[in-house]
Each structure stands twice: as structure tokens, then as C-alpha cells.
Amino acid sequence: MNSIKENAAVADESKFEYERILTGDRPTGPLHLGHYVGSLKNRVRLQDKYETFILIADIQALTTNFEHPERLKENIFLVALDYLACGINPNLSTIIIQSMIPEIAELTAFFSMLVSVNPLRHNPTIKTEAKERGYKELTYGFLGYPVSQTADIAIFKADLIPVGIDQLPHIELARKIVRKFNELYNCNLMKPFALIDKFSKLVGLDGNLKMSKSYGNAINLSDNFDLIKTKIRSALTDENRIHPADKGNPEICTIYSYHRAFSNENLIRETEYDCKNGKIGCVKCKENLFKIIKELLEPMNERRSYYLNNKDEVWDILFTGTKKAGLIASDTLREAKESMKISYSFS
């Protein structure tokens, strides 16, 4: 690894080689089209190129959902089902249940000694998220989630982390923590690089906030087609357009932004032209979009129903992945503890 690669937090795939990706989701509910365009689609592509580890972060889900741990098991299953439905291949990707790897919690404890509270308090991503959720007081767990994310990454020796630009401060912090740990204890834990995803956030059906589980403005990958049709019909378009022949402004239309995310180039161009020139009404435009979404989801639904009929296979995939990842985790923790000179044994 040369010094340039050492210093930059952002990965450069054209110049350097990377080996293992770590990515994941909090099992807080069904995944939606925003997740698909913002991360899942990319993961399906990347799993052919890199060894891919996908963490279902059930402990991290508790940072905002600690009142309902009993929902985690069902949600873990549903997230795994969404993964498999959208083309995550268990032979290429290792899917892991976070709470079944206790080494992550242990490494989090060691890392937490190396982080001061103020940078966490002032972390822009944490501040935005706390504001969006209306938190006045932050729990120790919520404030510290970037530290536990650092442990997630380091424990599996992952070097490439696909994230949106808003997550970059977390990767920078992770690199700082790992660097400090390595220097202090003369250890050699892997420092991660961010693989920045340039796709801007998919807006929700309300046309205002980003599509999110928590805002009730999402089209879920597991929604049935009748529901999707109803949701698309309800989506906000250019409010100044009353009649189909009125000239519209696609730039402020939610449906057009979905066309841009999911339709082919021709249909995007045609939609833009026809809308601007009053040649297509919103009803027809929404029907066109529905067809596109249906085509996208049909093959997913086929895989989903296979796994719904074979639920044990889903749990097997999860346990096999977790077991494989657990071996790497115990290896990393052993290295970390040895370098700290705290690997005691009773003889």
C-alpha cells in the first residue's frame, strides 16, 4: 500500500486494488426503492468484483428503536429476504447478523476509549439525524454509533465501504480511530476507504423528504402491485398542472424523478419532452412509471416467493454467513488484544 492510498479517505478504484467490502442495513423495517437505487443495486454489481460482507445491524437498530427489541428477529428475516430478492447472491456475499458476533461489542469498547465526546457531538451526520428524529437528548448508544460502526468495519478487515457522501465523516472518523489504535498498541488493523456513491437521494412520495421507512413515504420492494399503483397515483406532481394539455415542469415532479431513477434513456427523454409540451397527462405518465417499476420488481418477487416457501434456507444463509464472519472476527479481536497485551489465559 503506498502513501497516497494511505492518506485519502476516498477510494480510487482506478488506481488501487481493494479486497473486501463491508456494507449493511439496520433491520428497522422493509427496504424500499430508495434503498434499491441508493445501495442494493450497487451491491449486486459489486459482489462480482469484491468479496462482499453485508451486516444486518440489529444492535445498531436499537440506537433508535430500543423500546422494541422483540421486532428485530422478524425484521432481520425481512431484510435478508429483500437482499435475496433483489439479487444478493449468498455464494458471493456473506450476510451477517451483528448481535451474533460479540467480538464487535468488545472491539467497540476498546475503540470508545480513543474517541472524545465533542467530535461526536459535532459530527454533522449525527446532528442532522438527531434533528430529523426530533431528539433533544442523545443516548450514549446513539452518540457512539459511529464508534461501533468502526468496530463493524475493522473486525471484518474490510477495506472498502460503499457510502453516500453524507456518511463520509463516519469513514474519516473510523480511519482516525484505527490509526490511533494501531499507533498506540503497535497493531495492524485495516484502515477503510469510502467508495462514494454519487446517486442523490430518491425523494419520497410526498415529493419533499427523502424516501424513508420512518417517514411513511416509501414504495417498499415487498409491496404488492395494487398497493404500488395506489402509491404512484398519490405521488405529488407539478401542482400547477391541471389539465393534461398544460405545459408541465418535470424538474419539480416526483414522478419524473422516479423516471430518471428507473426508466431507460428513451423513456426519460420522451417523458421530459412530452411533459414540457403538454403532450402527456400525469395519469398516463404515472401508468408508464408503474409498468417500469413492475418490470423491475417481477423477478424480485419470484425470488422472494421462493424464499418465502423455503424460510429455513434464509436462516441457513444467515447462520452460515455469520459463522464464517465470526472466525474472522475472533481472529481480529485476538490480534487487537495481543497487541494491547491483555490476552490473559488461566493455566
> Cell triple for residue 35?
434503498
| Alpha carbons 108 and 124: distance in angstroms, whole number | 21
Smallest gap from Cβ 3 to ligand ATP, in A, equals 30
Smallest gap from Cβ 215 to ligand ATP, in A, equals 7
CB of 162 closer than 8 Å to CB of 129: no
| Alpha carbons 146 and 99: distance in angstroms, whole number | 16
Smallest gap from Cβ 154 to ligand ATP, in A, equals 19
Interface contacts to ligand ATP, rule CB under 6 A: 25-26, 28, 34-35, 37-39, 164, 201-202, 210-214
Give the residue closest to ligand ATP by C-beta: 38
Smallest gap from Cβ 29 to ligand ATP, in A, equals 7
> How many other β-carbons are positioned within 10 Å of the β-carbon of residue 324?
14
Residues contacting residue 334 through CB under 8 Å, at least 6 positions apart: 343
CB of 70 closer than 8 Å to CB of 257: no
Q: Could you give the dihedral angle defined by the CA atoms of residues 117, 119, 120 and 125, in that order, rounded to the nearest 10 degrees?
A: 170
In the bound state with ligand ATP, the residue whose beta carbon lies nearer, of 38 and 169, is 38
In the bound state with ligand ATP, the residue whose beta carbon lies nearer, of 185 and 258, is 258
Smallest gap from Cβ 126 to ligand ATP, in A, equals 13
In the bound state with ligand ATP, the residue whose beta carbon lies nearer, of 106 and 197, is 197
In the bound state with ligand ATP, the residue whose beta carbon lies nearer, of 25 and 274, is 25
**Cα atoms found within 13 Å of the Cα of residue 156, Cβ hemisphere only:** 33
In the bound state with ligand ATP, the residue whose beta carbon lies nearer, of 153 and 280, is 153
